[in-house]
Amino acid sequence: MSIEQKHVMCRACHAHCGLIVDFENGVPVKTHGDKNNPEYEGYSCIKGRQLANYHSLESRLLTSYKGMKQGRKEAISWRDAAQEIAAKLENIIAEHGPDSVASYVGTFGYNNLNAHSFMLALMDAIGSTSVYDSVTIDQPGKGIARALAGPWLAGAPRVGEWDGLMLVGTNPIVSMNGGLGMNPAKKLHDAKKRGMQLIVIDPRETESARQADLYLQCRPGEDPIILAAITKVVIEEGLYDKDFVANDVNGLEALKKAVAPFDPALAAQRADLTVEEIVQAARMYGRWKQGSISVGTGPNMAGGGNITEYLNLSLTSIMGHWRREGEINRRSGVFMKPAPPIAASPGPLQAWGFGRKLHSRDLEQSISGMPTSALPDEILTPGDKQVKALICLGGNPMLAWPDQLKTFEAMKALDLLVCVDPRMSKTAELADYVISPKLHYEVHGSTAAPGLYGGFGAGWGFENNYAQASLPIMEAPEGSDLCEEYQFIHTLASYMGKPLEIKSWALVSHPQEREENTTIFEPGETPDPVTAWSAALNGSPVPVTEVFADPDAHKGKIVDAQPLLVQPKPAGWEGKLSVGNAAMLEELDAYVQRLGQPVEETAFPMRMIGRRMTAMLNSSWHEEPTQRKRVPHHPAYMNPADMEALGLIEDQPVEVESERAFISCVAKADISVKRGCVSMPHSWGTNPDENEDPLGDGGNTGRLSFNDRDFDRRTGIPLMSSIPIRVRAKGQVLIPAQ
C-alpha cells in the first residue's frame, strides 16, 4: 500500500500549525505534526490530528440548508441560497435601512482573513455599520490598553530573549494564547533550560502553572489589585528602568500615586494570597532585564480587563521591556507589514469616542470593536437602528455569547438569520439559512491570521519570519455542494448588484497605505482563491502569488529576508508611552475600596471560572469521537474539599446556579482548582428550549451571565468568569462505568 504525504495548514484554531496528512490510496488516514516545520517543530494537538474526521463526520453538512427556524429544514444549493438571501436583505434594507443588517464574525471568520475581509467589504457595500465580532467577548481589554498606553513601534523581544514571563489568567500550553508562541510546551522547556523564570497568577494550577518558579493561586476577579501591588513594589523599590522612563514614558508620577494605596498586605488579603507571594513576585519580576507579561481571558472576563491589561503594559513600559535601538527583529514580515522599526512610541491613540453608538444601550464602538454582548439588545429594542438581519460567519452566538437566555430571544426575533457553518450549530438550528463551507484539506490556507496576531504583543505570532501558504490536498466529497466562505459572500453581493471593495489586512499599521491597497471585485464571476487572498493581503512584504507559487511555502518555511535593525528615535520626536492614563487609573481607583475588605457574602458563595481544554475548541466539533472520548461530559472541576463539603461525589450530575439561571453538568474532583472556585469550559450545552442532559452536552456557562449587569462600560463585556454561583446535586443518578 502506498503512503503519500501532503502538507496542510490546520485552521482548527488560531495557531495554524503546519501539519502532514498521510494518504493511503488517495484516502487521508492520518494527520500529524511535521518535524521539519521550522516554526512548529513537529507539534500537533488532538484536534489537529482529527482533521480528516471533520471532513467525513456525519454531522458535517454537505450542502446548505434553509428553513430550520420554521421547522422545515430543506437542502438548498449555496448559490440558490445566496440569491434568496440577497432578495431578503434588499427588502430588509429598503424597509429598515442598512444598519438593520448586522454581521458577526466568530472564530472561523476571524482566523480566515480572506473570508473576514470579504465580510467587511459586504457590510461596506450595504452601507451598514452594524459590524460585530468576537473580540469584545474575548479579551477586549487588550485593544483598549494598547491604544491608551501607545504602541511601541519596534515591538517587543521574543521568548528566546526573556529572563522571565508572567502569565496572568492564561494557560498558553493548552490554549496557544499569547505568551509562548507556537509549540508552547517546547518553547517553555527550552526557555526554562536556559534559566528563564515563570510566574503564574491563576486560581487554577494550570498546565502552565505546574512549570512555574512562582505560582500565585489567587482569588478570581482581583487581578487589578494584584498587579497594582506588584507595580507599587517595583516603583517604590526602584526596580524599574529609570533611563528608559526618562526618555520614553509619560505618567510615572500619576501611576505611582494611583498604586500607592495597594499595600501588598491589603492586596494579599483581598486576593487570598500571602504578602510574601506578592512581594516575591514583584521582586522576581523587577529583576528581569528582558521579560514579558501575558494576560488572558481570565482577567478580561472577570470585570477588570482594561485596567489589568493597562497595568501589564505599564509594568512593561517602566521596565523598558521593549525592543531597543540597535537590536535586530528577524520578523520583517511575509503577509503582514510590520510597523517601522524605530525605538519610539507615537504616543497614545484614541480608544473610544469615535464610532457608532448603540440605540438600545449607553454603549458604543471602541477600538476593540462593537460591543457584541449588547447585540441581543440591538435586535430586541425597537428603534431606528434595530437589527433585523444577522449574518454569522464561523461563529455560534447561542453557545458563545454571554446571556444565552437573552441571545435566544434575540435570535428568534430576527427577520433573517444566516450562518456560514459546516455544522448545524445551535445557532444554525434557529436560522433561516446555513451555508456550508469547504474545510481545511479542500481550500487554500495562509498563516496571515497568526501573522496579524503578532501585533498583539510579546509572545503572539511567530518567532521567525515564518509563513505557510497551503494548497488544497483533497476534493470536496462527491455529490456535495460546498463553497469557500468568500465565494458565498461575493456571490451574495453579486446578486445584490454590489461590487466588493476588499481592504488589505497586510497594512493594518499603515492606514494610509491600506486605503490605497483596496481591490475591487465587480458583481459577476467570483475570483479564484489566490486572487482573493491577494486582495485580502494586498501590499504584503512578499507578494501573495509568490508565496502560493513556492513549493516550500506549501509546507511552511522561514522566508529569507533582511532582518530589521531597530533605528534610534529621530531627533525632535515627541511621542512617548503612557502609564498615567486618567480613565484607566480611575478604573483602578474603583478597586481601592475593596482593599482589606472581605468578599461580600451572598447566596452565591462560589465563583465559576473559565478554562480551556486541549481536546475541544469552543463549541466546535464536540461530537468528534476521539475528542469526545477525552471529555465525555461537560465537566465542572472542583476542589475535592469543596465537593466533600457539598456532599458531592465524582461524576455526579450537578446544577451550577447563578443569579441569572442554572445549568447542568458533571462534578469532577480536581485538586488544582482553588477552593471556592468551579472551573468550567464554555460553549457547551443546548438551546434554552431543549432539555439539558448533564451526561450529554451539559450546560452553557453563557447562560449564567446577565449582559446588562456588571459589564464594562467601554466594551460591554459582562462577567463571563468569576461569576458568583452555588452548586447543588442534581439527583443521585450516577454515570454507568465506561
Give the pairing of strands 291-295 and 164-168. parallel
Q: Grid coordinates representing 369?
A: 470593536
Binding site for ligand MGD (CB under 6 A): 13, 106-108, 134, 137-138, 168-172, 174-177, 201-204, 206, 218, 220-221, 223, 296-299, 301-302, 393-397, 399-400, 420-423, 425, 437, 439, 485, 609-612, 614, 616-620, 679, 682-683, 701-702, 720-722
Distance CA 546, CA 551 (A): 10
Q: Which is nearer to ligand MGD, 345 or 618 (CB)?
A: 618
- The rounded radius of gyration (Å) of the Cα atoms in the chain is 25
DSSP string, 289-332: SSEEEEE-HHHHHTT-HHHHHHHHHHHHHHHT-S--TT-EE---
Determine, following the binding rule CB under 6 A, whether residue 363 of this chain makes contact with ligand SF4: no
Q: Which is nearer to ligand SF4, 16 or 219 (CB)?
A: 16
Question: With CB cut-offs between 5 and 8 Å by kind, which of ligand SF4, Mo ion, ligand MGD, none does residue 114 bind?
Answer: none
Q: Which is nearer to ligand SF4, 624 or 655 (CB)?
A: 624
Beta bridge partners of 382: none
Check: CB of residue 297 under 8 Å from CB of residue 215.
no
Shortest Cβ distance from residue 399 to ligand MGD (Å)?
Answer: 6
Tell me the three state secondary structure of residue 550: coil
Shortest Cβ distance from residue 570 to ligand MGD (Å)?
Answer: 37
Helix, strand, coil shares of the chain as percentages rounded to 5? 35, 20, 45
Report in angstroms the alpha-carbon separations of 195 from 105, 119, 165, 375, 464.
41, 46, 11, 47, 21
Shortest Cβ distance from residue 203 to ligand MGD (Å)?
Answer: 5
Shortest Cβ distance from residue 529 to ligand MGD (Å)?
Answer: 14
Shortest Cβ distance from residue 46 to ligand SF4 (Å)?
Answer: 7
Q: Which is nearer to Mo ion, 300 or 386 (CB)?
A: 300
Question: With CB cut-offs between 5 and 8 Å by kind, which of Mo ion, ligand SF4, ligand MGD, none does residue 683 bind?
Answer: ligand MGD
Question: With CB cut-offs between 5 and 8 Å by kind, which of Mo ion, ligand MGD, ligand SF4, none does residue 536 bind?
Answer: none
Site string for ligand SF4, 13-52 (x = CB under 6 A): x-xxx--------------------------xx-xx----
Tell me the three state secondary structure of residue 384: coil
Shortest Cβ distance from residue 104 to Mo ion (Å)?
Answer: 14
- Encode 244-275: b = buried (16+ Cβ within 10 Å), e = exposed: bbeebbbbbebbbebbebbbbebbbbbbbbee
Using CB under 6 A, which of the segments 6-14, 64-72, 88-96, 698-706 binds ligand SF4? Answer: 6-14
Pick out residues in 97-156 that bind Mo ion (CB under 5 A). 138
HEC assignment per residue over 179-230: CCCCCHHHHHHHHHHCCCEEEEECCECCCCHHHCCEEECCCCCCHHHHHHHH
Q: Which is nearer to ligand MGD, 251 or 397 (CB)?
A: 397
Which residue among 6, 7, 8, 12 contacts ligand SF4 (CB under 6 A)? 12
Question: With CB cut-offs between 5 and 8 Å by kind, which of ligand SF4, Mo ion, ligand MGD, none does residue 587 bind?
Answer: none
Pick out residues in 163-222 that bind ligand SF4 (CB under 6 A). 176
Distance CA 419, CA 438 (A): 14
Phi and psi at 625, nearest 5°, equal -60, -40
Shortest Cβ distance from residue 110 to Mo ion (Å)?
Answer: 8
Q: Helices 305-319 and 223-236: crossing angle, nearest 10°?
A: 20
Size of the site for Mo ion (CB under 5 A): 1
Q: Which is nearer to ligand MGD, 34 or 485 (CB)?
A: 485
Q: Return all residues near 667 (Cβ < 8 A) that are at least 6 apart.
A: 636, 638, 643, 648, 649, 650, 651, 652, 653, 654, 727
Shortest Cβ distance from residue 402 to Mo ion (Å)?
Answer: 13
Q: Which is nearer to Mo ion, 138 or 697 (CB)?
A: 138
Q: What does the binding site for Mo ion look like in residue numbers (CB under 5 A)?
A: 138
Contacts with ligand SF4, residue ranges (CB under 6 A): 10, 12-13, 15-17, 44-45, 47-48, 176
